[in-house]
Chain A
Amino acid sequence: MDTARSEIILSIKDVTKSFPGVRALNGVSIDVRRGMVHGVVGENGAGKSTLMKILSGVYKKDTGTIVFDGRTIESTTPHESMQSGLAIIYQELNLVNTMSVGENIFLGRFKEMKGMGGTHAKARELLDSIGCKVSTTKLVSELSVSTKQMVEISKALSFQSKLIIMDEPSTSLTTEEMALLVKIIHQLKAQGISIIYISHKLEEIFDFCDIVTVMRDGNVIDTKPKVEFTRDELITKMVGRTIENEYPERSRKVGDTLMEVKGLNTRKLHDIQFTLKKGEILGLVGLVGAGRTEIVRALFGADRVRGHSITINGKPVTINNPKQAKDAGLGFIPEDRKLQGLVLPFSVEHNISMAAIERFTRFGFLRKSLEKGIGAKHVQSLKIKTPNVKVAVKNLSGGNQQKCIVGRWLEIGPSIFIMDEPTKGIDVGAKYEIYLLMKEIAEKGGAVILISSELPEVLNMSNRVLTIYDGRITGEFEPEHVPADTIMRSALGLEGGAK
């Protein structure tokens, strides 16, 4: 490994950045070398995203110096940084869905490409160079996440990028797609392109990164060649304490039937029926788009569904909207934290209290002292990191935002807690805390319905899992006693009810 010898392409020195009430970066220094894959790991809120947004010109740094490719960068715009050879590929990808692959790669540069003919020809060349076979005339909206990433990478290459930043690129990829991405990363590396690879997943860091930087609370904790890190050391440095287990022990107090669902049919779902027991964590396993989210949304009254029946504790209940679901004792953490969960410009306190407004209302008037108590209680018990409860929730990190939503529902004390991707984009420490909460809810006689794209998470947390494929339940398993690949085969529609 010549990790120390190649020249420095990007030098970040003592960069700080503050936001109202939060110090996001606290004198960060990192050197990135040519042709290296530089992993950046850290919990949510560690400052990784802020740093990357400063590099790409979305934010302005407060102090510090950044030298990229021999030039000092004072302030930049996303467009300028792209032109100068620094490309960033965001988690949520930055493509125009209604335009074609080729048009996206050369967006705004059709003239330079001498029209659409040149655009598509050059796009073809770039895509071929990374082994991507997608047609350049296909609409981006029709592509899988993985292919969209290939398009983004091609776009970065079209600018002769010297440094490509990838922000959690693996979040929505399958294993095969991931393998392809790794292959491309190696290829880019061979061409002398540096890569900053941001990730939560330690496997990836150990798989193909050369140098690793660990960040925590806006500081760089350590930077050294991967080979000098042990797995435990990396985790400890990330979370600032030792974590023994990734998952708590399974809850053992499964009791009688709590809820029964029958005849749930929509355009996408076919005759869904299942039961949920007291003290149980029930996992729904399936591919994205298989109908997992549709099932829980229908249960919670978020989408209009007719003709199904729900009984809770033996009594039939009608749930036509989320309000009725809430009154029937259901709680719901939706899939998309920012779009469906939080009121971003509102304070932490208001976001926590919003499902429980009736509890601090008398004669229609809010009793703000009670509301304050509710906010403070959950900030404390869930260890939500925030300067105070009046701070806008958008200023918090992902994990802390998620805890606000959890707190919102804990205040209501639902007996059935639906969690759709509750740990998505959340760091290791906060994940464990959410696992403990699930277990606690179950052990107190409630039940949890858990959806997660991370298979190990569902399998380790659930007492029972249902596999969903193409809108049908294709199997039911106790993950403790059944091998994971059997469950996965069922979720892929290869065994069980569906043909």
Chain B
Amino acid sequence: MNALNTVLKEYLVLLMIVGLAILTAIVEPKFLSPANLTNIMRQFGPLILVSLGMTFVIIGGFIDLSVAGTINLVAVVTISLIDPLGQTGALLTGLLIGAICGALNAVLILTGGATTQAEALFITFGMSTVYSAIALIYSGGSTMHFWDLETSYSAFEVIGSGSVGPLSVSFVIFLASLALLWIFHTKTAAGRAISLTGGNKTAARLAGVPVSRSIVLIYTIGGFMAALGAIVLFSRITTAAPVIGAGFETNAILAVVVGGTTLKGGKGSVLRTVMGVLLVILLNNCLNLLGVSSYMQWAARGAILVFAIWLDNRKEVQGNQL
């Protein structure tokens, strides 16, 4: 009985994913059509990258609402730099901007003396609007298209719609990111420092664990992964508008928490986030196929987030002792 409980709790998300998929496939056979599966894969690409970065921020005990602004900024700047800098230059600059945006968040949090998740929430929320505003000013508010470019954008086409064997390029980018981040989190000293920081900042600092460095790291990773997500996103839709990042922050946080990484910090895994993202995207897809209105979809997503947090707190209560 106890064992069953544990299994249920550990694999609840996986069970929900499978259940949801089977249910939708029965009710709406279109779900299994190649076109729909490709569609799911495509949506998966950008969100999973952003969510993997967000996982680190949350494991470190903080939160990052600025990814929407970072995606907006990176998208419009990167696409506009393809002509002057060439593809490689534009790509690298885009990723660098993402990392800098993230690091800037961390510096503001540290110098502002913010120690709680709530303070970080407001600081990064503020920075999101700043990054978005810069994106709007930079682009003049207009959308940029690949077909307006004068030089080659072949590399971005490959990122957006190319494939390696049976896998899409964006999926390969995801697998590589997942592997690297998983190794970083579980096998390196810096990864351990991040977990300890999230588990108890004060205790970690008093044990000589580099807490400030960990905070800079998690936000830099968060910003970098948001930039990577932005590049995959605009490469796929061949267009960069200064508002394309809207909603990514909430979906990423939703995916991380639903996946089972605790908002309290310390405990979590990028592997869990993969399941979380799958569930979030499947849910969207299913509700779409079933013709549920987008307003109801918002309600469903909110309900799942609340449920995930409730579940997480229940685990905490049962594990408590003495």
Residue ranges of A at the interface with B (Cβ–Cβ < 8 Å): 19-20, 22, 24, 45, 49-50, 300, 302, 321-323, 325-327, 332, 334, 339-346, 350, 354-355, 357-358, 361, 364-366, 392, 394-398, 408
For residue B127, CB closer than 8 A to chain A, the reply is no
Contacting B322 at CB < 8 Å: which of A45, A302, A339, A343? Answer: A45
C-alpha gap A300/B200 in the complex (Å): 18
Least CB distance, B205 to chain A, in whole angstroms = 6
C-alpha gap A20/B321 in the complex (Å): 9
Q: Would A354 and B207 count as touching, CB distance under 8 A?
A: yes
Find chain B residues with CB under 8 A from A346 CB.
195-196, 199, 266
C-alpha gap A397/B187 in the complex (Å): 30
C-alpha gap A183/B207 in the complex (Å): 44
C-alpha gap A45/B210 in the complex (Å): 33
Find chain A residues with CB under 8 A from B205 CB.
302, 321-322
Find chain B residues with CB under 8 A from A394 CB.
319-322
For residue B116, CB closer than 8 A to chain A, the reply is no
Q: Would B203 and A366 count as touching, CB distance under 8 A?
A: no
Q: Would B266 and A366 count as touching, CB distance under 8 A?
A: no
Q: Would A355 and B203 count as touching, CB distance under 8 A?
A: no
Contacting A24 at CB < 8 Å: which of B192, B193, B267, B322? Answer: B322
Q: Would A354 and B209 count as touching, CB distance under 8 A?
A: yes
C-alpha gap A358/B210 in the complex (Å): 11
Q: Would A395 and B188 count as touching, CB distance under 8 A?
A: no
Q: Can you list 15 A-B contacts (CB < 8 A)? A: A20-B321, A50-B321, A50-B322, A323-B208, A327-B208, A334-B203, A343-B266, A344-B200, A346-B195, A354-B207, A355-B207, A365-B189, A366-B188, A394-B320, A398-B322
Q: Would B199 and A343 count as touching, CB distance under 8 A?
A: yes
In chain B, positions 280-315 with a C-beta closer than 8 Å to chain A are none
Q: Would A339 and B206 count as touching, CB distance under 8 A?
A: no
Q: Would B322 and A322 count as touching, CB distance under 8 A?
A: no
Assuming the contacts A323-B208, A326-B208, A345-B266, asked whether A396 and B322 have C-beta atoms less than 8 A apart, the reply is: yes
Least CB distance, B10 to chain A, in whole angstroms = 14
C-alpha gap A339/B203 in the complex (Å): 7
Q: Would B196 and A19 count as touching, CB distance under 8 A?
A: no
Q: Which residue of B lies closest to A47 (CB)?
A: B322
A-B pairs, top 9 by smallest CB distance, nearest first, are A326-B208, A343-B199, A361-B189, A19-B321, A355-B207, A343-B200, A323-B208, A354-B207, A395-B321
Find chain B residues with CB under 8 A from A354 CB.
196, 204, 207, 209
Least CB distance, A370 to chain B, in whole angstroms = 12
C-alpha gap A346/B204 in the complex (Å): 12
Least CB distance, B174 to chain A, in whole angstroms = 23
Find chain B residues with CB under 8 A from A350 CB.
192, 196
For residue B40, CB closer than 8 A to chain A, the reply is no
C-alpha gap A22/B204 in the complex (Å): 26
C-alpha gap A396/B322 in the complex (Å): 7
Find chain B residues with CB under 8 A from A334 CB.
203, 206
Interface string of B266-286 (1 = CB under 8 A from A): 110000000000000000000
Find chain A residues with CB under 8 A from B266 CB.
343, 345-346
Least CB distance, B265 to chain A, in whole angstroms = 9
Chain B CB within 10 A, most for which of A321, A325, A327, A357 = A357
C-alpha gap A339/B188 in the complex (Å): 26
Q: Would A355 and B200 count as touching, CB distance under 8 A?
A: no
C-alpha gap A306/B208 in the complex (Å): 20
Q: Which residue of A lies closest to B208 (CB)?
A: A326
In chain B, positions 233-270 with a C-beta closer than 8 Å to chain A are 264, 266-267
Q: Would A343 and B203 count as touching, CB distance under 8 A?
A: yes
Chain B CB within 10 A, most for which of A300, A345, A397, A398 = A345
Least CB distance, B151 to chain A, in whole angstroms = 39
Find chain B residues with CB under 8 A from A344 CB.
199-200
Chain A CB within 10 A, most for which of B192, B204, B207, B266 = B207
Assuming the contacts A334-B206, A343-B203, A343-B204, asked whether A49 and B322 have C-beta atoms less than 8 A apart, the reply is: yes
C-alpha gap A344/B203 in the complex (Å): 10
C-alpha gap A447/B190 in the complex (Å): 32
C-alpha gap A354/B266 in the complex (Å): 14
Assuming the contacts A24-B322, A322-B206, A323-B208, asked whether A342 and B200 have C-beta atoms less than 8 A apart, the reply is: yes
Find chain A residues with CB under 8 A from B200 CB.
339, 342-344
For residue B115, CB closer than 8 A to chain A, the reply is no
C-alpha gap A207/B210 in the complex (Å): 49
